[in-house]
């Protein structure tokens, strides 16, 4: 094992023990949360896993802050977060990242998701279902607007027909 790998292992163990010991006031970062997740999963420490999820979700929210949904986070980064959400069964994070994919208008984004071997078929199907729901909603909205316009135009035309001509 190299020196850097040894330091990385020590870092993870230090963060893990610091989180378990209630006497230690420890603030978890996104990097330490990602490093601690495999240990939290292996040793079934639900509270640590929940803390990791919250930290990672907050990090994802911070990346989106002040930006339009679907256009602010690169697809490869969104895929990494979706992979974590899928692997560690984080429904909150999965919903946030799914929303990012659903609102991304770039067709390459969806193609990249579908081609990814890291994401389960179940999650891919969930994203596609939500994308289809969004398209149906937008189409229904457009139909309602068009119907309202046509109705107004029809009412206007009928009122004009019932009137006498301006010039005799």
Q: Give pLDDT tens digits for 95-132.
A: 999 999 999 988 899 999 999 999 999 999 999 999 99
What's this model's pTM, rounded to 2 decimal places? 0.75
On whether the CB atoms of residues 137 and 105 are closer than 8 A, the answer is no
**Taking the chain (168 residues) in consecutive chunks of 10 residues, what is each chunk's mean pLDDT?**
50 58 72 89 87 94 85 90 96 96 92 96 96 95 91 68 56
Q: What is the pLDDT of residue 39?
A: 86
Contact by Cβ (8 Å): 75, 112: yes
What is the average pLDDT score of the chain? 83
| pLDDT given at position 32 | 86
C-beta of residue 56 within 8 angstroms of C-beta of residue 81: yes
Q: Which residues of 60-72 are buried (b: 16+ CB within 10 A; e: fewer)?
A: beeebeeeeebee
């Amino acid at each position: 094992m190299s020196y850097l790998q040894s330091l990385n292992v020590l870092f993870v163990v230090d963060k893990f023990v610091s989180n378990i010991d209630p006497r230690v006031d420890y603030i978890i970062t996104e990097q330490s949360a990602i490093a601690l997740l495999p240990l939290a999963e292996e040793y079934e420490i639900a509270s640590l896993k929940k803390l990791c999820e919250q930290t990672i979700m907050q990090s994802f929210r911070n990346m989106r802050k002040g930006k339009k949904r679907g256009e602010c986070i690169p697809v490869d980064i969104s895929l990494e977060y979706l992979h974590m959400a899928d692997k560690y069964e984080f429904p909150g994070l999965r919903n946030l990242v799914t929303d990012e994919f659903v609102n991304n208008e770039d067709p390459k984004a969806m193609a990249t998701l579908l081609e990814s071997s890291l994401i389960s078929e179940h999650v891919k199907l969930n994203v596609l279902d939500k994308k289809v729901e969004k398209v149906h909603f937008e189409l229904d909205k457009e139909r309602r607007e068009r119907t309202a316009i046509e109705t107004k135009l029809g009412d206007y035309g009928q009122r004009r027909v019932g009137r006498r001509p301006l010039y005799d």
